[in-house]
Amino acid sequence: MSALTAEVRSAKSPVARWLRSTFPHHQDVQADYRETAGPARVLPSPTVAPGTQGAAIDWWLRFLVDPAPSVRLAAAGLRSLRAPGRRAGLELLDELGAFDDEGRTLRPVDPARFADRPDEWWARVSYALALLVELYRTPMVDGSRLMRLAPDSQASELLELANADEVADLVAMRDLAVERLLPALPAGPVFTGATFDGSADLNADADLIAGGVLVDFKAGQGGRPRADGSRAAALARADLDQLLGYVLLDYSDAYALHTVAIYAVRFGHYRAWPLAELCATLAGRPVDLSALRREFAELVRGELPVNATWRVPSTLSVRSGR
């Protein structure tokens, strides 16, 4: 099964073509975003692996906002058997309390249990979980740092895979999020890694939904450096399509979404758009969201190939290692 993030980045995708023909007027939204974001406030050193780092800060933000985040995608990575260090990963999930008392069934993690842990521990745990999820999401993992582990490696060795610069960078992004993101979030039910009715048709899970606001985290550095070394925030057409795709895959309006937002973690920039206004701006007219959801469902069910994919497990034995 294909993924929303892949479809919106391919000009040949029927999903991307439909979204760009239905919502063609994106330039003003992009320009406003760039103007209001300001300069990047946290930039990584050259030793930071950008892809894994973005996924790692995603995990840390989940721990900050969600009282019961799921680690099912990390478990799915372990289940794939695509890298050594399975024992280390299982040990880490067990230490996080992700298994029931029998050590078999996955359950949400309680971040409050670890409130006294130092920042470095949180950063390393977040990085380790990001590496495990890459086993589930990424086609090629030969260059993964997980390949440095042995079959009998322990959780402590998994936690050492993040370098010191990556730890410091994650702490800086976390500090900025506490200042800029957390005060902006509305009260209400919180879901991280949220899936939708349409996720059965097109793989998609949103970073955060809080009180009917869907927030996508972006950890990019922005555009090319200016003469003074600063960077402007970038909002690609694919980023907008990703937001729209999440909303449209919520076929039954289960999350009662009324607003979508992007939080640019390196800029400390939270930009929210009322959903009806954004759709009308992008479409050039008011839209019937219910009708568009039905049309989108027909599109993804009728025009996308159905491919084999890994099943995200609900059981994974820490005792047997299976």
Q: What is the pLDDT along the chain (322 residues), one digit of tens a residue?
A: 899 999 999 999 999 999 999 999 999 999 999 999 999 999 999 999 999 999 999 999 999 999 999 999 999 999 998 999 999 999 999 999 999 877 778 999 999 999 999 999 999 999 999 999 999 998 888 889 999 999 999 999 999 999 999 999 999 999 999 999 999 999 999 999 999 999 999 999 999 999 999 999 999 998 777 777 778 899 999 999 999 999 999 999 999 999 999 999 999 999 999 999 999 999 999 999 999 999 999 999 999 876 434 344 455 555 445 4
Residues paired with 203 in a beta bridge: 3
Pairing between strand 205-210 and 190-195? antiparallel
CA atoms within 13 A on the CB side of 128: 29
Provide the 3-class DSSP secondary structure of residue 158.
helix
Cα 94 from Cα 78, distance rounded (Å): 13
Q: What are phi and psi of 242, to 5 degrees?
A: -65, -45
Cα 322 from Cα 319, distance rounded (Å): 8
Provide the token pair at 160. 């050492």
**What DSSP string runs through 85-121?**
-HHHHHHHHHHTT-B-TTS-BB----GGGGTTS-HHH
* Residue partners of 321: CB distance under 8 A and separation at least 6: 86, 87, 90
Provide the token pair at 267. 């800029």
- Type and span of the H or E element at 229: none
Cα 127 from Cα 53, distance rounded (Å): 7
pLDDT value, residue 318: 53
Residues for the chain: how many in total? 322
Angle, alpha carbons 151-70-155 (nearest 5°): 25
Closest CA to 34 of 213, 233, 171, 263: 233
CA atoms within 13 A on the CB side of 158: 26
If you search the block for the tokens 């479409």, which residue do you land on? 283
Cα 199 from Cα 73, distance rounded (Å): 14
pLDDT value, residue 311: 41
Cβ(259)–Cβ(275) under 8 Å? yes
Q: What is the pTM of this model?
A: 0.92
Q: What are phi and psi of 65, to 5 degrees?
A: -105, -20
Cβ(216)–Cβ(226) under 8 Å? no
> What are the structural domain ranges in the chain?
4-303
Cα 198 from Cα 207, distance rounded (Å): 16
Cβ(123)–Cβ(61) under 8 Å? no
Cβ(52)–Cβ(127) under 8 Å? yes
* Sign, CA torsion 168/174/176/179: negative
